Amino acid sequence: NFIPPAHFPYTSCTGLTYDSGDYQAGLDLLLEKLAATAPQVPDGQLLGTGIASFVEPGGITPPIPGPDGTVGDKATVTISPDGKVTVAVGTSAHGQGHETAFAQLAADLLGVPYEDVTVVFGDSDTAPFGYGTFGSRSAVAGGSAIHYACQAALEAARRVDAPMSVTEAAARLGGITATAGSGAPPETYASGSYACVVAVDPDTGRVTLLRIVAVDDCGVVINPLLVEGQVHGAIAQGLGQALWEEVAYDDAGQPMAASLMDYAVPFAASLPPIESYLVCTPSPTNPLGVKGMGESGTIGVTPALVNAVMNALRPYGVRHLDMPLTPEKIWTAIHDPR
Q: What is the pLDDT of residues 190-240, one digit of tens each?
A: 999 999 999 999 999 999 999 999 999 999 999 999 999 999 999 999 999
From CA 274, how far away is CA 23, in angstroms rounded? 21
pLDDT tens over the chain, length 338 residues: 899 999 999 999 999 999 999 999 999 999 999 999 888 888 899 999 999 999 999 988 888 888 888 898 999 999 999 999 999 998 888 888 889 999 999 999 999 999 999 999 877 788 888 888 888 889 999 999 999 999 999 999 988 877 889 999 999 999 999 999 998 888 999 999 999 999 999 999 999 999 999 999 999 999 999 999 999 999 999 999 999 999 989 999 999 988 888 888 888 888 899 999 999 999 999 999 999 998 999 999 999 999 999 999 999 999 999 999 999 999 999 988 66
- The answer to whether the 5-59+186-335 and 74-181 domains have the same CATH topology is yes
How many Å apart are CA 98 and CA 28, to the nearest integer?
Answer: 31
- Write the class of the CATH domain 74-181: alpha beta
Cβ-contact 12, 18 below 8 angstroms: yes
Distance separating alpha carbons of residues 53 and 24, to the nearest angstrom: 10
3-state secondary structure of 14: coil
> Residue 230's pLDDT is what?
93
pTM: 0.92
Q: What is the pLDDT of residues 261-286, one digit of tens each?
A: 888 888 888 889 999 999 999 999 99
d(CA 59, CA 136): 6
CATH 3.40.1020.10 fits 5-59+186-335, yes or no: no
For the chain, the domains span 5-59+186-335, 74-181
